[in-house]
């Protein structure tokens, strides 16, 4: 029994030994083939499921899966990259198509930015590509190794068969059986090689099909992106002129006691919504009638007019150029003195410019370009332009007159904002959330004047012959006129001067709650007046002088418009001298003041944020916003700078919409910084 067990053990061991034991070729081939399959299974287990490739008879599936995994890995990588690239490019192009205004060079510049936005950072895309290239290379090496091993095994079998033919003698019967087996083995080998070639052909065809499908998918994606780009052209904000009927559907004009005609919304509005767009009744610029402009200039040089020359010019153009409907709309405008007699300027101009016809009774009739000009109408129209017109945004001598827009009341904290559209159209937008029946107001003052104290704003508004009683001006606290508390040294109290009372309104200190006397408040006002005069002599070209004024003013003022003016002078001076750290500090002070005084959206605040982003960018490299080179910055720097541009963009979207050049400029700067390489972006995200 022991002998039998030993014989079996020797037999089993012999199965794993070399050719010296002279087993038949078919047995050796099958055993060797099994060993090859085991080695292949170990390699393939890295990439495949064992239950799919352990069976050695499943050679077709084995090779198919190897190639499929490589293709799948490539496809998934390409698809994920394509999806990311499509998202960022589509997002970038969507914004850029919205804000692009037809400038070819800007389009090329923005396109490069969008390509950079294809992945969140340059590092991510490079790492992903390297990983996938290594995976595909590893699989390809395994495939080549498998192929070489199969051919090597075939050659070994052939060599073994030759050795067997030259070896020991066998009985004829056994030799015949062996010959049959050899023929069977050769046939099996040939069939295996043919099958392998057939598999390769099938895999190649499958690869070609997959590649074609991938190309079709990419082509379809490109078509979809192109179609989306074409569709995005229609997303561009349309600024079409409203008819009078359409305007009347949006707003209501009502007479308010003590204010006159005012405008109210008929609909609910969100910030940034267009209320209506109105074309001008008339645009007055010198080129409109150059001959008349030259005549009036000569008259003004001989004997200066009491009123600006352009108002006389506007009145004559209005009478001679408007149609009846527009002329009647012009005459209907509010004026402070409708029954006022014409002044000497009117007759002086008419006598020099017009053709005069006299009657037998000594009366005079003035004709200009065959139109009869009534001196009373002429004087009235001068008042219309004086109190209802807007300055032209590109010509300092120009004026623009609108119909419904002139009925908007003023407020230092207005509910509406506006900008020019095409052909000087007036685009009126909601500045805040408005409900049905809310009054629509705009500011007659420039944004810079709105940051000054109420007494100065009211003084400027006297040009329109009214005292402003808006919520800012009637508020007992003037947040643009803060003084430093002498008791605690860090708190702020506010002083307000009422137009009808010499006694100022004084608040308690916001820190220690101490109060100052009326006499002390008047002393502070005297200091204030002296610093206002000193500001006129202070400029950014003399930083040493400006800094000395600032140091002294800081002892008296806190949240005060005088300090805001000094912040501005110092910011501009340090910016121009490339002292970026100091420029950033004073710009932050400007923004802090602006938010405290007027928290609503306004152009000044939007541009303050844009300037802050520019200064931060220039502190890294002064060419960073003017060239297309890739500058490496930290992830924190990148996000901080982009956040400033984004705040500017959000404010400008309310104020002028996403199609305006103001917003396009900020958006291009945002994409410029967003497209730069962040040196530590990968570590930050991890």
Per-residue model confidence as pLDDT tens digits over 9-18: 544 444 444 4
* Alpha-carbon distances, residue 124 vs 90, 637, 651, 686 (angstroms): 19, 18, 32, 11
62 and 163 inside one domain:
yes
Confidence of residue 294 (pLDDT cuts 50, 70, 90): very high
97 and 231 inside one domain:
yes
Count of helix runs (H) and strand runs (E) in the chain: 24, 17
pLDDT of residue 148: 57
Strand partners, 566: none
- 251-256 vs 260-265, strand pairing mode: antiparallel
| Eight-class DSSP state of 241 | P
Residue 120 has pLDDT above 60, yes or no: no
The answer to the question of residue 448 being in a domain is no
Average pLDDT value over all residues in the chain: 78
- Average pLDDT estimate for 575-596: 98
Confidence of residue 681 (pLDDT cuts 50, 70, 90): low
230 and 310 inside one domain:
no
Residue 67 has pLDDT above 50, yes or no: no
pLDDT of residue 122: 35
288 and 226 inside one domain:
no
pLDDT of residue 682: 55
Residue 490 has pLDDT above 60, yes or no: yes
In which region does residue 518 sit, left (phi positive, over 0), alpha (psi from -120 to 50) or beta (all else)?
Answer: alpha
Strand partners, 560: 481
Compute the half-sphere exposure of residue 79: CA atoms within 13 Å on the CB side of its CA: 12
pLDDT of residue 152: 57
Averaging pLDDT over each range in 112-121, 143-152, 265-274, which range is the top one? 265-274
* Range in 225-229, 287-291, 378-382, 596-600 the model is least confident about: 225-229
The answer to the question of residue 226 being in a domain is yes
Residues in Cβ contact with 161 at an 8 Å cutoff, skipping those fewer than 6 apart: 25, 182, 185
Residue 369 has pLDDT above 60, yes or no: yes
The answer to the question of residue 406 being in a domain is no
pLDDT of residue 25: 45
Last residue of one domain, picked from the residues 200, 235, 270? 235
Residue 561 has pLDDT above 70, yes or no: yes
Q: How many domains does the chain have?
A: 3
64 and 208 inside one domain:
yes
Alpha carbon distance 602, 413 (integer Å): 10
Residues in Cβ contact with 187 at an 8 Å cutoff, skipping those fewer than 6 apart: none
Confidence of residue 298 (pLDDT cuts 50, 70, 90): very high
The answer to the question of residue 18 being in a domain is no
The answer to the question of residue 193 being in a domain is yes
Residue 238 has pLDDT above 80, yes or no: yes
- Average pLDDT estimate for 570-583: 98
Residue 8 has pLDDT above 90, yes or no: no
Alpha carbon distance 671, 117 (integer Å): 9
Alpha carbon distance 525, 531 (integer Å): 10
pLDDT of residue 353: 92
Sheet holding 371-373, edge to edge: 355-358, 364-368, 371-373
Residues in Cβ contact with 370 at an 8 Å cutoff, skipping those fewer than 6 apart: none
Alpha carbon distance 660, 651 (integer Å): 12
- Average pLDDT estimate for 392-404: 93
152 and 301 inside one domain:
no
* Residue 172 or 299, more confident: 299
Confidence of residue 502 (pLDDT cuts 50, 70, 90): confident
* Residue 197 or 164, more confident: 197
pLDDT of residue 41: 47
- H/E stretch holding 585 reads helix 580-597
DSSP for 451-495, written as a single string:
TS-HHHHHHHHGGGT----SHHHHSS--TTEEEE-TTTSS-EEEE
- Average pLDDT estimate for 617-641: 94
Alpha carbon distance 435, 269 (integer Å): 7
Last residue of one domain, picked from the residues 374, 401, 428? 401
* Range in 54-68, 448-462, 534-548 the model is least confident about: 54-68
Residue 183 has pLDDT above 70, yes or no: no
Residue 313 has pLDDT above 60, yes or no: yes
329 and 199 inside one domain:
no
552 and 664 inside one domain:
yes
Alpha carbon distance 363, 30 (integer Å): 132
Confidence of residue 530 (pLDDT cuts 50, 70, 90): very high
287 and 205 inside one domain:
no
Residue 404 · residue 334 · CB < 8 Å: no
- Average pLDDT estimate for 133-144: 48
The answer to the question of residue 7 being in a domain is no
- Average pLDDT estimate for 244-248: 97
Residues in Cβ contact with 211 at an 8 Å cutoff, skipping those fewer than 6 apart: none
569 and 632 inside one domain:
yes
209 and 286 inside one domain:
no
The answer to the question of residue 447 being in a domain is no
Alpha carbon distance 141, 66 (integer Å): 11
pLDDT digits (tens, 9 = 90+) for 418-464: 999 999 999 999 999 999 999 999 999 999 999 999 999 999 999 89
- Average pLDDT estimate for 22-46: 46
Residue 45 has pLDDT above 50, yes or no: no
pTM for the full model?
0.66
Confidence of residue 220 (pLDDT cuts 50, 70, 90): low
pLDDT of residue 191: 53
* Residue 293 or 78, more confident: 293
622 and 537 inside one domain:
yes
CATH code for the domain of 559: 1.25.40.10
Query: How many CB atoms neighbour CB 374 within 10 A?
Result: 14
Alpha carbon distance 13, 31 (integer Å): 12
The proportion of the chain whose per-residue pLDDT surpasses 90, expressed as a percent, equals 58
Residue 155 has pLDDT above 80, yes or no: no
Sheet holding 557-560, edge to edge: 505-506, 492-496, 481-484, 557-560
Averaging pLDDT over each range in 60-64, 394-398, 660-664, 676-680, which range is the top one? 660-664
Strand partners, 357: 365
pLDDT of residue 126: 38
* Range in 160-174, 331-345, 492-506 the model is least confident about: 160-174
Two structure tokens written together for 632 = 């490496």
* Range in 286-295, 390-399, 439-448, 608-617 the model is least confident about: 390-399
Residue 586 · residue 603 · CB < 8 Å: no
The proportion of the chain whose per-residue pLDDT surpasses 70, expressed as a percent, equals 65
Residue 641, φ and ψ in degrees, nearest 5: -65, -45
Residue among 111, 425, 58 nearest 238 (CA): 425
Q: What is the span of the domain harbouring residue 120? A: 24-235
pLDDT of residue 149: 53
Residue 261 has pLDDT above 50, yes or no: yes
The answer to the question of residue 15 being in a domain is no
Last residue of one domain, picked from the residues 367, 383, 401? 401
């Amino acid at each position: 029994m022991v002998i039998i067990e030993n014989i079996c053990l020797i037999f089993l061991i012999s199965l794993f030994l070399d050719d010296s034991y002279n087993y038949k070729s078919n047995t050796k081939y099958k055993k060797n083939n099994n060993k090859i399959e085991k080695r292949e299974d170990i390699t393939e287990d890295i990439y495949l499921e064992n239950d799919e490739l352990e069976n050695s008879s499943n050679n077709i599936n084995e090779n198919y899966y190897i190639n499929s995994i490589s293709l799948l890995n490539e496809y998934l990588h390409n698809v994920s990259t394509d999806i990311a690239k499509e998202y960022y490019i589509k997002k970038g192009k969507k914004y850029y198509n919205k804000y692009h205004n037809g400038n070819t060079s800007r389009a090329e510049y923005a396109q490069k930015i969008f390509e950079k936005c294809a992945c969140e950072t340059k590092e991510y895309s490079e790492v992903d590509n390297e990983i996938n290239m290594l995976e595909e290379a590893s699989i390809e090496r395994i495939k080549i190794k498998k192929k070489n091993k199969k051919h090597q095994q075939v050659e070994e079998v052939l060599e073994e068969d030759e050795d067997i033919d030259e070896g020991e003698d066998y009985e004829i019967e056994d030799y015949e059986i062996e010959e049959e087996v050899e023929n069977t083995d050769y046939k099996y080998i040939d069939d295996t090689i043919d099958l392998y070639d057939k598999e390769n052909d099938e895999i190649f065809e499958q690869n070609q099909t997959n590649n074609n499908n991938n190309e079709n998918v990419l082509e379809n994606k490109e078509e979809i992106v192109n179609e989306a780009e074409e569709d995005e052209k229609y997303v561009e904000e349309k600024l079409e002129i409203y008819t009078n009927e359409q305007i009347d559907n949006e707003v209501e004009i009502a007479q308010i006691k003590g204010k006159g005609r005012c405008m109210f919304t008929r609909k609910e509005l969100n910030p940034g919504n267009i209320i209506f767009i109105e074309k001008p009744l008339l645009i007055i610029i010198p080129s409109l009638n150059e001959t008349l402009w030259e005549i009036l200039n000569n008259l003004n040089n001989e004997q200066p007019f009491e009123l600006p020359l352009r108002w006389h010019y506007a009145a004559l153009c209005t009478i001679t150029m408007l149609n009846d409907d527009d002329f009647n709309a012009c005459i209907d405008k509010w004026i402070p003195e409708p029954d006022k007699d014409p002044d000497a300027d009117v007759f002086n101009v008419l006598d020099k410019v017009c053709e005069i016809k006299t009657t037998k009774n000594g009366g005079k009739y003035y004709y200009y370009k065959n139109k009869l000009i009534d001196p009373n109408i002429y004087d009235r129209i001068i008042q219309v332009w004086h109190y209802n017109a807007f300055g032209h945004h590109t010509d300092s001598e120009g004026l623009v007159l609108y119909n419904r827009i002139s009925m908007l009341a003023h407020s230092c904290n207005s509910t509406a904002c506006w900008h020019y559209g095409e052909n000087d159209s007036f685009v009126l937008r909601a500045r805040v959330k408005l409900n049905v029946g809310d009054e629509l107001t705009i500011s007659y003052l420039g944004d810079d004047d709105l940051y000054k104290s109420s007494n100065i704003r009211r003084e400027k508004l006297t040009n329109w012959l009214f005292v402003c009683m808006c919520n800012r001006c009637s508020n007992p606290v003037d947040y643009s006129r803060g003084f430093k508390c002498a008791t605690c040294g860090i708190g702020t109290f506010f002083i307000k001067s009422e137009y009808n009372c010499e006694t100022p309104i004084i608040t308690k200190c916001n820190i220690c709650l101490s109060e100052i006397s009326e006499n002390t408040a008047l002393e502070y006002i005297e200091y204030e007046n002296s610093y206002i005069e000193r500001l006129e002599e202070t400029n950014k070209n003399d930083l040493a002088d400006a800094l000395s004024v600032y140091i002294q003013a800081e002892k008296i003022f806190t949240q005060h418009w005088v300090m805001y003016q000094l912040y501005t002078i110092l910011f501009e001076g340090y910016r121009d001298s490339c002292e970026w750290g100091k420029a950033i500090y004073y710009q932050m002070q400007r923004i802090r003041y602006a938010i405290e005084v007027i928290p609503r959206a306004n152009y000044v605040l939007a541009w303050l944020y844009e300037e802050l982003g520019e200064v931060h960018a220039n502190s890294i490299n002064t060419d960073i916003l003017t060239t297309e080179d890739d500058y490496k910055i930290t992830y924190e720097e990148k996000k901080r700078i982009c956040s400033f541009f984004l705040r500017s963009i959000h404010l400008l979207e309310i104020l002028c919409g996403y199609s305006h050049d103001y917003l396009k400029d900020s958006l291009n700067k945002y994409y410029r910084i967003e497209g730069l390489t962040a040196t530590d972006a990968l570590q930050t995200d991890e």
